[in-house]
Structure 1
């Protein structure tokens, strides 16, 4: 959407309603930007509000040498850098703990700054034009958890340079102006950032491209994954996983590697009761909300959110966010009630749950 010079002039003159209307155009893409910088949904929401507050206070200083959108990105980027200068990077369990052996029970939660998932329904609506700003903002591989985990290894200003240059497609000059660096310093930082990133990205993720809708094959794989868990069919489940699948369980400093280790652990340490599963989306990846009805309960209560990475038709990574509070941001209910013990659920969108038939898990 083209910026309205009249609206921008009204903002500079102190028209609060014009400011709100103009800034709200960019809320979701700015939140994605802050999320990439910080790795936290909650912090990204706070930083967008901080960005708008700083922009309102400094509105008279906007001289029109960039677009209003670009000016907001500059404010947001520097607000994120202020936060990153005060705390360590966010991590996933495999970065802070050794791989668990077969038969090892999960550890107690640890107070690490964990990477957080991002609900797809909060992403900007993407146009069909791959060169449009919103399409660039949500390029698929640059919102996936694997990418987010990898860029956490970059120093804050290298991270900002990489996001502005390689994700958003800014020029070296615009990036330098935003970060108050020289163009030469931006080019050097970008080269170092790309080198570090390659070391931490999984295979087949060294390049990234535009967002695509989930394929029929991906949706079918997700349904088979849920069905296999529901039936406790370990043979089918093993066939859906890559042999070297990695599974981690934040906020537990615990992770396993290999399909057999995951299946064995799920069998040995799963809480007793009946399970139900809701299909959803996180970070433009298939995801599953897990609910458990313990023997003493009448309802299924939220247990975890599993985010899956799929490559070449196999599940190659699962990040199991073992905290019921995570599901709230996805618009998912805290509890489920079924009329029949054989009923389960799938979900089309946060506001459209539908029921499907499945067997018990005990």
Structure 2
């Protein structure tokens, strides 16, 4: 009861133009709203931009808030529709990202997507800042699954409205009537979009065999991978992979699947010759990750070389995802260069 009273007082003050009261009113939802934007947009950078747009719109519209829904639901309505508008406008893709230029020719990929993937990794440290709102009984995804790279990559293939409906219903546990209000559509439209979205994501791999975060099993895999990759031992890296493992490098539309394709890529590109790296452990999307730094034999300075995320399956690695954008390191609290 006290919390409701406090919120009511803050709301009254915010409506009277008290900026500090507004900040205190929305602060508990700030991080979860950013994660919501990230799920829909697939970009940490864009999610932060849309979060700021959402809060600005809420501040400007607080006097018109009619309390027919909770503050949290009202904020989700603003954030969701801002994200959908951005997707429709095509303004939130990293169109100005410089095309990656490899120092050596890249091997012919096993698969080639029709367009670049602008999916970015999400730092686990940000997840720890999210307040615990228990999802409803219909929720199908725990937090860990709902931020996994496989789930996020699948989401990005859905039409925008289906994407939003799936996140609001299955991840966040909103009722169909609430989602209909958020999106200004009928409940039947929500039900239909959810059915199509679930069907499209039915192929996602089962994550029951994934080691628990920070468990001895996971640490062993991470330590073995770190040692092999830093030593440039292609055979040791490949020995840790599942037979159908994938290697991808967002935003490049090139994908390498299977041991032979990945071995060839590592030996001719990533770990060729005397190239050596230092991996700084971190976590992204509920998965082990690393800031990658390339050694330069001419100087003690090591330069950023993207972020690597491992997808685990039992005691092996089912996917290596190397994000090429060095600006992502800042989101993980990592520098652009290190001194050896």
Whether TM-score is above 0.5 comes out as yes
* Structure 2 residue 227 is matched with structure 1 residue 227: yes
Displacement of 1:214 in angstroms is 3.1
Aligned with residue 77 of structure 2, among 61, 69, 74: 74
Q: Is the 8 A contact 2:46 2:92 kept in 1?
A: no
Displacement of 1:62 in angstroms is 1.0
* Structure 2 residue 6 is matched with structure 1 residue 14: no
Displacement of 1:288 in angstroms is 1.6
Distance in 1 between residues matched to 2:108 and 2:294, nearest whole Å: 19
Counting only pairs closer than 5 Å after superposition, residues 242-261 of structure 1 correspond to structure 2 as: 242-261=242-261
* Structure 2 residue 167 is matched with structure 1 residue 163: yes
- Deviations for 1:150-179, whole angstroms, at most 9, x for unmatched residues? 011211111111111111000011111111
Distance in 2 between residues matched to 1:257 and 1:123, nearest whole Å: 30
Distance in 2 between residues matched to 1:322 and 1:150, nearest whole Å: 20
Secondary structure of the residue aligned to 2:168 is helix
Distance in 2 between residues matched to 1:269 and 1:190, nearest whole Å: 42
Displacement of 1:84 in angstroms is 1.0
Displacement of 1:127 in angstroms is 6.8
Counting only pairs closer than 5 Å after superposition, residues 38-77 of structure 1 correspond to structure 2 as: 38-77=41-80
* Structure 2 residue 121 is matched with structure 1 residue 117: yes
Distance in 1 between residues matched to 2:59 and 2:133, nearest whole Å: 31
Displacement of 1:236 in angstroms is 3.0
Seen in structure 2, the aligned counterparts of structure 1 residues 79 and 282 have a Cα distance that, compared at 3 Å, is: same
Q: Which residue of 2 aligns with 1:192?
A: 196
Q: Which residue of 2 aligns with 1:183?
A: 187
Displacement of 1:129 in angstroms is 8.3
Seen in structure 2, the aligned counterparts of structure 1 residues 126 and 80 have a Cα distance that, compared at 3 Å, is: closer
Distance in 2 between residues matched to 1:27 and 1:197, nearest whole Å: 28
Displacement of 1:141 in angstroms is 0.9
Aligned with residue 315 of structure 1, among 297, 303, 317: 317
Secondary structure of the residue aligned to 2:206 is coil
Q: Which residue of 2 aligns with 1:337?
A: 339
CA RMSD of aligned residues (A): 3.1
Q: Which residue of 2 aligns with 1:84?
A: 87
How many pairs does the alignment contain? 319
TM-score normalised by L of structure 1: 0.80
Distance in 1 between residues matched to 2:294 and 2:306, nearest whole Å: 9
* Structure 2 residue 146 is matched with structure 1 residue 146: no
Q: Is the 8 A contact 1:40 1:117 kept in 2?
A: yes
Seen in structure 2, the aligned counterparts of structure 1 residues 303 and 70 have a Cα distance that, compared at 3 Å, is: same
- Deviations for 1:310-348, whole angstroms, at most 9, x for unmatched residues? 11221101111123222122111211112xxxxxxxxxx
Give the stretch that moved more between structures: 267-276 or 64-73. Answer: 267-276
Counting only pairs closer than 5 Å after superposition, residues 233-312 of structure 1 correspond to structure 2 as: 233-270=233-270, 272-312=274-314
Q: Which residue of 2 aligns with 1:172?
A: 176
- Deviations for 1:27-48, whole angstroms, at most 9, x for unmatched residues? 1100000000111111100101
Which ranges in structure 1 are unaligned for 5 or more consecutive residues?
A: 92-101, 339-362
Give the stretch that moved more between structures: 31-40 or 185-194. Answer: 185-194
Q: Is the 8 A contact 2:135 2:171 kept in 1?
A: no
Secondary structure of the residue aligned to 2:306 is strand
Distance in 2 between residues matched to 1:29 and 1:169, nearest whole Å: 13
Distance in 1 between residues matched to 2:91 and 2:202, nearest whole Å: 21
Distance in 2 between residues matched to 1:320 and 1:251, nearest whole Å: 9
Secondary structure of the residue aligned to 1:14 is coil
